[in-house]
Each structure stands twice: as C-alpha cells, then as structure tokens.
C-alpha cells in the first residue's frame, strides 16, 4: 500500500510517497481504510526532526484521519463494525491507505460529516476542548480572544467556544482571514498586530476572560494586557517562529491572572478513555452544526509535502486535507 513517509528528517520537500507493507492490527486496534488525512503542525515538525516525539525513520506521517473500518479485529466489543465511518488520531501513521489504530483513539463519524471534515476534527477540536474546559475553566458567557483565528486550531477554538456558550474575538492579519474567521463563527474580528485597543473597546474596557494563543511571539505581552481580572492565557504553540515569549510575573500578580500551558497529546494519550469522553462531549455540537470544520484546501496524495510547505509559510486557511483516494 502507499504511505507518506519521512525517510530523512530534512523538511517537507523531502517527504515521499512509498510502497510499504499493509499493517496488521493488534488486539486493541481497528483496521481502517483511510480516505482523508489532516495536515497538521506536528507533521511539519516531524518532517524536520523538530518534534518532541522523534520516531526512527522511515516513518509514516499523518496525525488525524478519517475513513472506513475494514476489520474491527479483537476490538469488536468496542462497537465498531466493518464498513463503519470513523475518524482517528495518533502521534503519526495516518497518511497511508490503511492504518491500524488503537480503538481508544478512534471515534464514530456521523453520516452528516464528510471524510475531509472528519480528518479535520480529532487533533484540533480535542485539543481546543481540553484547552478551554480542562485548562481554561471556561464558563458560560465569558469572552475568548483567539490568535491565529483563521487557522485550523483557531477556527476550532471559535466553534468550540461558541458551543460552550462563550463570546469570541478573532485576531487575524488580513481581510481575507477576517472573512474566513467570521464565516467559521467569530462574533468579532480584529485585523492587524495592534489588537489591544480594539479588544479593550469591544469589551467595554473590561478585557477578555481567556486568550487562546497558538502564535506566541510579539503578541504575547499584549495578550496579557488584554486580560480581565482573573483572566487566563492558554499557551498552545508558537507558530510565529519568534522564539518563546517571556512572562514578567508581576503582570500576573497585579491582575490576578494566569498563564497556563496546554499539552493535550501527552495528557490524553496516557489516560485510556479520556479521548472517547471528549468526543462524546463534542458530539452534540457536531449534531447541532456549531462544529463544522472549515476546509481551506485539499491536496492529492503526492502533494503532502507541498501541503506542509503551505502550512509552514502560513498560506493555510482552516484545516488542509490530503485525500488518499
């Protein structure tokens, strides 16, 4: 079967499609015929050898995927059946024509959700749910400021926050991204790096309760300054590529504010059943149409590397997806 692999971790340009052996599912796996694969920031880091998890090359990319169950194997007690539509997530391995994925990291995909949308759901939406609920303690009617709001994690944040009853303010860099974020569900949109005054005006001077930051860089200090009393900045990533921001802790003391790290993968993957509970939490939002992943671009299998280059150069809107068939 075909798989998208890293043979040498020298970046997206060297990602290749190779023939590999079909997987043999273990006793706790389900075998899935993959239809669509999400293009994720961890894939980019893995291709460069820069991710905290470093598999031995050659290895297959693909963090989240969607497809059809070929064989539930010994996992029949999980309720999966041959032909059932599913989505799944793992550290890597999803960008192949078939994948043997742990049952606990595999989820039923509603009929109204396309395979492309299914491949956009697991990593981003489960990460955001963990960030907002578990780490952010988001409450009904609070306000969430979303950096990188036209990207995959950003649009997921806009939708999950709305599903949790919050108001959202999207921060983006262009009018095109502003339109995209608004279409994804943003209540308010601010364009440009100088967002602080606009946010203060939109909140009547109070500030926001939660900031979800996948960008880092120069915006971080102004994010702290935008917080309301007892506000929380949730650190998800550093896509700006400007290094790791520093926190002057006196700012936290003066406003009774917090900076909280969000490390969903390491947390969720070591707690069997946790992801399944999260998926169950998202299900009503999916059914209600509050969650509908915006797909910015689709690519053919041979163009997985090109999709990663577009992600690296910040040309991506929403979630990009590679179609395996």
Q: Which domains does the chain have, with CATH numbers?
A: 2-123+293-323 (3.90.180.10), 136-261 (3.40.50.720)
DSSP of 12-34, one letter per residue? GGG-EEEE-PPP---TTEEEEEE
| Exposure class string for 35-55: b at 16+ Cβ within 10 A, else e | bbbbbbbbbbbbbbeebeeeb
Report pLDDT for 251.
83
In 3D space, the residue among 31, 42, 30, 9 whose CA is nearest the CA of residue 97 turns out to be: 31
pLDDT band for position 240 (50/70/90)? low
pTM of the model: 0.95
pLDDT band for position 244 (50/70/90)? confident
Whether pLDDT at 75 is above 70: no
pLDDT band for position 73 (50/70/90)? confident
Q: What percent of the chain has pLDDT over 70?
A: 97
3 state SS of 188: strand
**Cβ proximity of 12 and 28 under 8 Å:** no
Report pLDDT for 227.
97
At a CB cut-off of 8 Å and minimum separation 6, what does 5 contact?
15, 16, 17, 18, 20, 57, 58, 59, 60, 61
Q: Would you say how long the chain is, in residues?
A: 325
Report pLDDT for 77.
66
Tell me: the pLDDT tens digits for 247-263? Answer: 888 889 989 999 999 99
Whether pLDDT at 279 is above 80: yes
Tell me: the pLDDT tens digits for 78-102? Answer: 689 999 999 999 999 999 999 999 9
pLDDT band for position 245 (50/70/90)? confident
Report pLDDT for 284.
97
| Exposure class string for 273-309: b at 16+ Cβ within 10 A, else e | ebbbebbebbeebbeeebbbbbbbbebebebbbbbbb
| Distance, CA of 188 to CA of 110 (rounded, Å) | 30
| Distance, CA of 314 to CA of 172 (rounded, Å) | 12
| Distance, CA of 186 to CA of 301 (rounded, Å) | 32
Report pLDDT for 172.
96
Tell me: the pLDDT tens digits for 294-316? Answer: 999 999 999 999 999 999 998 99
What letter would DSSP give residue 220? Answer: H
Pairing between β-strand 85-89 and β-strand 208-213 as defined by DSSP bridges: unpaired
Range of weakest confidence among 2-11, 48-57, 231-240: 231-240
Mean pLDDT of the chain: 94
Report pLDDT for 249.
84
In 3D space, the residue among 295, 269, 238 whose CA is nearest the CA of residue 66 turns out to be: 295
Report pLDDT for 140.
95
Whether pLDDT at 293 is above 80: yes
| Distance, CA of 204 to CA of 69 (rounded, Å) | 51
Report pLDDT for 8.
96
Tell me: the pLDDT tens digits for 168-194? Answer: 999 999 999 999 999 999 999 999 889
Position with higher pLDDT, 17 vs 73:
17
Tell me: the pLDDT tens digits for 5-31? Answer: 999 999 999 999 999 999 999 989 999
**In the Cβ-directed half-sphere of 159, how many Cα atoms lie within 13 Å?**
30
């Amino acid at each position: 079967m075909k798989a998208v692999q890293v043979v040498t971790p020298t970046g997206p340009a060297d990602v290749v499609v190779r023939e590999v052996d079909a997987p043999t599912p273990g006793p706790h796996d389900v075998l899935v015929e993959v239809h669509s694969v999400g293009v994720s920031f961890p894939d980019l880091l893995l291709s460069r050898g820069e991710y905290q998890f470093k598999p031995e090359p050659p290895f297959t990319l693909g963090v989240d995927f969607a497809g059809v169950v070929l064989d539930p194997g010994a996992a029949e007690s999980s309720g999966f059946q041959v032909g059932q539509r599913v989505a799944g997530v793992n550290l890597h391995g999803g960008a192949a024509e078939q994948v043997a994925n742990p049952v606990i990291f595999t989820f039923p995909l509603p009929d109204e959700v396309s395979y492309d949308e299914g491949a956009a759901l697991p990593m981003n939406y489960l990460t955001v749910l963990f960030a907002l609920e578990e780490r952010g303690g988001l409450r009904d009617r609070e306000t969430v400021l979303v950096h990188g709001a036209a990207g995959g994690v950003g649009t997921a944040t806009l939708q999950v926050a709305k599903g949790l009853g919050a108001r959202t303010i999207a921060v983006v860099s262009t009018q095109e991204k502003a339109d995209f974020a608004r279409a994804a569900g943003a209540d308010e949109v601010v364009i440009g790096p100088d967002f602080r005054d606009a946010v203060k005006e939109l909140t009547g001077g109070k500030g926001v309760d939660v900031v979800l930051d996948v960008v880092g860089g120069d915006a971080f200090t102004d994010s702290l300054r935008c917080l309301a009393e007892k506000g929380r900045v949730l650190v998800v990533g550093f896509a700006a590529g400007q290094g790791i921001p520093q926190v002057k802790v006196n700012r936290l003391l003066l406003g009774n504010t917090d900076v909280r790290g969000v490390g969903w993968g390491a947390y969720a993957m070591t707690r069997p059943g946790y992801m399944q509970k999260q998926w169950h939490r998202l299900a009503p939002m999916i059914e209600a149409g509050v969650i509908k992943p915006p797909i910015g671009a689709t690519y053919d299998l041979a163009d997985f590397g090109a999709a990663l280059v577009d992600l690296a150069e910040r040309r991506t809107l929403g979630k990009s997806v590679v179609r395996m068939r």
